Chains A and B, each alone.
Chain A
Amino acid sequence: MNSMLSVENLESGYGPMQVLWKPSLEVKKGSITSLLGPNGVGKSTLLLTVLGSVEPWGGKIMYEDEEVTYLPTHKKVDLGLTLAPEGKHLFGGMNVHENLIMGAYRKEAGQNINDSLELVYSLFPILKERDRQGAGTLSGGQQQMLTIARALMTKPKLMMLDEPSQGLAPILVGEVFETIEKLQAEVGLTILLVEQNVEASLNAADYVYIMHEGQIKAEGTADEIKGSSDIREVYLGI
């Protein structure tokens, strides 16, 4: 498998505060790569910096063997990168269908809009049922589904998911992870997943990075991480 996304010595932050202290990671094509770590270590910032929402200060971001470090966000989305943001950033005043249509804003996605809609509705039948319902009135789980579905409408190759199981009932967490595995297996997406739900992420992921204080502290296949008690103790506290 070759590399889809590679991040080298990335630095960024907010105002004078540096958050990322040169983490490096690689996401292989077709894999689910998981980024774990406690609160406030810079996981979300890393995703936002990769997408360009937060401007990188230094380092290098390679996407499909092209350097994209300082490309503006919309150009990165054009290349097939997307993010299902944390906290369900939906368009609350629009209904489910309109939210999905907005996902297909860029030209290429717009041309395939019917195929994308069909795919999304087959993956998330509940969204088809709630087609005309206001996005703001969906339940938490459904909103999370819609966030992922809308990201899917941009026709991405690499989808980054920021805490998709946040605030969901345990039974829904399982559903979300099933969806993520489906995206990999059936849709053929490459996935970079940021999570706090360690157990579920370890089960879903092919490769795992552990982040601490803005740096990558450990990496390995899911099995290696599971087997290494040190890493579990020090960084996950379990």
Chain B
Amino acid sequence: MKNTISKYYPLIPVFAAYLIMFIIGFFMPGMWQMVALLAFYCALGQSWNIFMGMTGYVDFGYVTFIALGTYGMSLGISYFSQFEWLGIGILVIGLILALFLASLSALLEAFIALRLRGAYFAIACIGINEGLRYFIEGAKIWGGSEGMIFFGALMQAFGKETVNQLTTFWADFSVFIIAALAAFLNMHYMRSKIGYALTAVREDEDAAKVMGINTTKYKTIAFLTSGLLGAGVGAMAWGLKLGHVYPGDVFVIHYTVECIVVVLLGGAGTLLGPVIGGLIYGLSKYWLAVIMPGFQLLIFAPIIIIIIVAAPEGVVGLLKRRLKGTQLEMFIE
């Protein structure tokens, strides 16, 4: 029994970090907005890392899931807010729609793109993302390029007071929950047969097949998990929080690149990596935007290059090496 629990020790620093962030944001006036931004990057990094970290496949089109999550929530609110008796159920329907759209596209993408490897996979994912965006704009579904604005509907259904709480506290709080859930799932996968199978895929997919590993199945599981978590973040942090959605705002590859930066900074394939990466990236972005607005990317590009050359395993990789053989080793993964 002790053995099963100790397998999950590396979750402790991750959850501790989230808890401290939450406490700082909740009790220190004026900090909530920044903490919410950090949680957003941590959650996205953690979710993206579930697939990329374990399989080595770089999903450049990951933002598709975030965008579809946003659309799911937007549709839920737009179409169901007229049924006032549903109450908070409206948001539940929105979240279910978000997860439904994301699973649909994840399974479709898994069917098409997971047959490809390396650069071809990355390009196929970008293609699907751009295709979806222009499909929505061109076919004029869900408001086409004009998107959907449903802040008013939200107001009508819940009243000003509740909406205020929902958008300024609960939307961000649920991002924390998703981040924690992503960490738990990541850890659980790492410590189970799924993790072994995916590690084998990352090391040598052909050899993994010869071992009798159903590589497609496990890749799909990780892809779906990663996509659903992303959709959750989209539904809450973009859909519910902003009250509107435009295709040109959500299907933007830039956000995938941010996921990559967060994960590489912290350490790909590690549990703590996305948290550390998310904190470093989120904080620097926040402060750089204050000190030198517009210069974030210019400064980040060289930092990323330095990290990739000097510490390809990220901050957590360095930390792991430093702590090897000490008592703290089992808490870092």
Residues of chain A at the chain B interface (Cβ within 8 Å): 51, 53, 72-74, 77-78, 82-85, 89-94, 102-103, 105-106, 109, 150-151, 154
Does B203 interact with chain A (Cβ within 8 Å)?
Answer: yes
Chain B residue contacts of A150, Cβ below 8 A: 207, 211
Contact (Cβ within 8 A) A85 B212:
no
Q: State A92–B203 Cα separation when bound (angstroms).
A: 7
Q: State A175–B196 Cα separation when bound (angstroms).
A: 32
Contact (Cβ within 8 A) B210 A105:
no
Contact of A90 among B193, B204, B214 (CB under 8 A): B204
Contact of B212 among A78, A90, A91 (CB under 8 A): A78
Contact (Cβ within 8 A) A85 B214:
no
Interface of B is mostly: helix
Contact (Cβ within 8 A) B203 A106:
no
Contact (Cβ within 8 A) B212 A109:
yes
Does B209 interact with chain A (Cβ within 8 Å)?
Answer: yes
Chain A residue contacts of B200, Cβ below 8 A: 91, 102, 105
Contact (Cβ within 8 A) B210 A102:
no
Q: With both chains docked as a complex, state the minimum distance between the C-beta of B198 and any C-beta of chain A, in angstroms.
A: 11
Chain A residue contacts of B210, Cβ below 8 A: 51, 53, 73, 77, 82-85, 89, 151, 154
Given contacts A72-B214, A105-B211, A105-B212, 12 further A-B contacts (CB under 8 A): A73-B209, A77-B211, A91-B200, A91-B203, A91-B207, A92-B203, A102-B200, A102-B211, A109-B212, A150-B211, A154-B211, A154-B212
Contact (Cβ within 8 A) B212 A106:
yes
Does B197 interact with chain A (Cβ within 8 Å)?
Answer: yes
The B172-222 residues at the A interface (CB cut-off 8 A) are: 193, 196-197, 199-200, 203-204, 206-216
Closest to A52 in B: B209
Closest to A94 in B: B203
Contact (Cβ within 8 A) A53 B209:
yes
Contact (Cβ within 8 A) A89 B204:
yes
Contact (Cβ within 8 A) B197 A105:
yes
Q: Which 9 A-B pairs have the closest CB atoms?
A: A77-B212, A89-B207, A91-B203, A106-B212, A74-B214, A73-B209, A105-B211, A89-B204, A74-B212
Q: State A73–B212 Cα separation when bound (angstroms).
A: 7
Q: State A90–B197 Cα separation when bound (angstroms).
A: 14
Q: With both chains docked as a complex, state the minimum distance between the C-beta of B218 and any C-beta of chain A, in angstroms.
A: 10
Chain B residue contacts of A73, Cβ below 8 A: 209-210, 212
Contact (Cβ within 8 A) B204 A92:
yes
The B50-99 residues at the A interface (CB cut-off 8 A) are: none
Q: State A200–B271 Cα separation when bound (angstroms).
A: 50
Chain A residue contacts of B197, Cβ below 8 A: 105
Chain B residue contacts of A89, Cβ below 8 A: 204, 206-207, 210
Chain B residue contacts of A84, Cβ below 8 A: 210
Chain B residue contacts of A72, Cβ below 8 A: 214, 216
Contact (Cβ within 8 A) B206 A106:
no
Q: With both chains docked as a complex, state the minimum distance between the C-beta of B9 and any C-beta of chain A, in angstroms.
A: 21
Chain B residue contacts of A82, Cβ below 8 A: 210, 212
Residue from A53, A73, A92, A154 with most neighbouring chain B CB atoms (10 Å) = A73
29 A-B residue pairs with Cβ-Cβ distance under 8 Å, sorted by A, are: A51-B209, A51-B210, A53-B209, A53-B210, A72-B214, A72-B216, A73-B209, A74-B213, A77-B210, A77-B211, A78-B212, A84-B210, A85-B207, A89-B206, A90-B207, A93-B203, A94-B203, A102-B196, A102-B208, A102-B211, A105-B211, A105-B212, A105-B213, A106-B213, A109-B212, A151-B210, A154-B210, A154-B211, A154-B212
Q: With both chains docked as a complex, state the minimum distance between the C-beta of A234 and any C-beta of chain B, in angstroms.
A: 33
Q: State A35–B213 Cα separation when bound (angstroms).
A: 27
Q: With both chains docked as a complex, state the minimum distance between the C-beta of A97 and any C-beta of chain B, in angstroms.
A: 13
Closest to B202 in A: A93
Taking A72-B214, A92-B204, A93-B203 as contacts, is the C-beta distance between A105 and B209 under 8 angstroms? no
Q: State A72–B214 Cα separation when bound (angstroms).
A: 8
Taking A93-B203, A94-B203 as contacts, is the C-beta distance between A74 and B209 under 8 angstroms? yes
Contact (Cβ within 8 A) B204 A91:
yes
Residue from B193, B212, B213 with most neighbouring chain A CB atoms (10 Å) = B212
Q: State A90–B207 Cα separation when bound (angstroms).
A: 7
